[in-house]
């Protein structure tokens, strides 16, 4: 029973929306222009009352999409934001998308040890030579009885 009510509600809303759309399409241009003038006046009154409007991301998306439909020379009289504002919104959106600061860990990046290095890197002659020299020097330091991890002389 509850599903049937939900379906009827959705169907009612759809029919209501379609009828409203046909009324707008059939209506004469004079009444459309009058409605636009009333809405513009209401918008101007509301702008005078509010010091600063805070747009949600959905509002920004909607205004940006509509901005593509309006010529820029008419923005001052119709549109609530300037082209510079829309570009600033875009810059912030892009910078948030490509910001990897949260993924970075502080400090020195981890080093790759010879045993964990890829096979192709272990086969490079310079790396093999340096690793051999380092292991030999380290082994001499330990066997000389000096302890520590410095390079032995000689």
Looking at the chain, the whole-number percentage of residues with pLDDT higher than 90 is 1
Q: What kind and span of H or E run contains 44? A: helix 29-49
Q: What is the pTM for the complete model shown?
A: 0.41
Average pLDDT over residues 105-134: 69
The pLDDT value given to residue 154: 46
Q: Do the Cβ atoms of 67 and 79 come closer than 8 Å?
A: yes
Which region among 82-86, 91-95, 102-106, 109-113 has the lowest average model confidence (pLDDT)?
Answer: 109-113
Residue 148 has pLDDT above 70, yes or no: no
Q: How far apart are CA 4 and CA 107, in angstroms?
A: 60
Burial class, 95, CB count within 10 angstroms (exposed 0-12 / middle 13-18 / buried 19+): exposed
Q: Euclidean distance between the first and final Cα of the chain, in Å?
A: 92
């Amino acid at each position: 029973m509850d599903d049937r009510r939900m379906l009827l509600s959705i169907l009612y809303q759809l029919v209501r929306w379609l009828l409203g759309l046909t009324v707008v399409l059939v209506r004469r241009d004079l009444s459309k222009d009058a409605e636009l003038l009333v809405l513009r006046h209401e918008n101007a009154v509301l702008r005078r009352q509010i010091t600063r409007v805070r747009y949600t991301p959905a509002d920004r998306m909607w205004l940006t999409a509509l901005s593509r439909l309006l010529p820029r020379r008419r923005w001052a009289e119709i549109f609530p934001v300037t082209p510079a504002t829309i570009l600033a919104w875009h810059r912030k959106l892009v910078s948030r998308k490509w910001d990897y600061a949260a993924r970075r860990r502080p400090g020195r990046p981890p080093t790759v040890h010879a045993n964990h290095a890829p096979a192709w890197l272990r086969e490079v002659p310079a790396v093999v030579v340096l690793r051999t020299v380092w292991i030999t020097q380290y082994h001499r330091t330990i066997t000389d009885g000096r302890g520590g991890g410095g390079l032995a002389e000689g």
